[in-house]
């Protein structure tokens, strides 16, 4: 039975995009897109550099049969409380059945933001959690 599903999935993958939309709802496509933090240090504050900044690394996996056009990503980063927000406006095509889409985001930070990040990182125990909220927009 599993082989039949695999063959059917491969057959559907070669159909033109218009016909594919008959088989796949937006909810199904959404469930086949995975966005996660990349690497061992995906959120990397560099507070002592000449121009202080925070780097963020994301990885997008597209398990669907569609080319997805990444329109934008909105980012909110908290170190115990809101510290920065920004947008990734670079348009990227995420190929079907791929996991090689790497996204990089850098935000320069002010002295107030540096103080909040340092306060959080140096507190024993930390006064809150690091949390990342992203909203991602794709076009088919």
Evaluate if pTM is beyond 0.85: no
The residue among 11 and 7 whose pLDDT is bigger is 7
Helix (H) / strand (E) element for 119: namely helix 111-122
Q: How much is the average pLDDT of 36-42?
A: 90
For a pLDDT cut of 70, what percent of the chain falls above it?
89
CATH 2.60.40.10 fits 32-139, yes or no: yes
Residue 16 backbone dihedrals phi, psi, to 5 degrees:
-60, 155
- Flag whether pLDDT at 59 surpasses 90: yes
pLDDT of residue 39: 85
How far, in whole angstroms, is CA 67 from its chain's centroid?
A: 16
The residue extents of the domains of the chain are 32-139
The 10 Å CB-count burial string (b at 16+, else e) for 109-140 is beeebbebbeebeeeeeeeeeeeeebebebee
- Flag whether pLDDT at 19 surpasses 70: no
Q: Are 84 and 108 in contact (CB under 8 A)?
A: no
């Amino acid at each position: 039975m599993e082989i039949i599903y695999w063959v059917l999935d491969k057959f559907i993958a070669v159909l033109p995009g218009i016909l594919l939309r008959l088989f796949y709802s937006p909810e199904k496509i959404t469930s086949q897109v995975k966005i996660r933090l990349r690497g061992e240090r995906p959120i990397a504050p560099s507070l002592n550099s000449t121009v202080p900044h925070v780097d963020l690394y994301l990885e997008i996996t597209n398990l669907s049969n569609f080319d997805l056009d990444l329109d934008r990503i909105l980012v909110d980063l908290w170190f115990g409380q809101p510290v920065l927000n920004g947008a990734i406006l670079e348009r990227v095509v995420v190929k079907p059945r791929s996991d090689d889409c790497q996204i990089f985001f850098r935000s320069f930070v002010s002295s107030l933001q540096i103080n909040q990040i340092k306060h959080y990182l140096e507190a024993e125990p930390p006064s809150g959690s690091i949390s990342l909220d992203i909203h991602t927009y794709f076009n088919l």
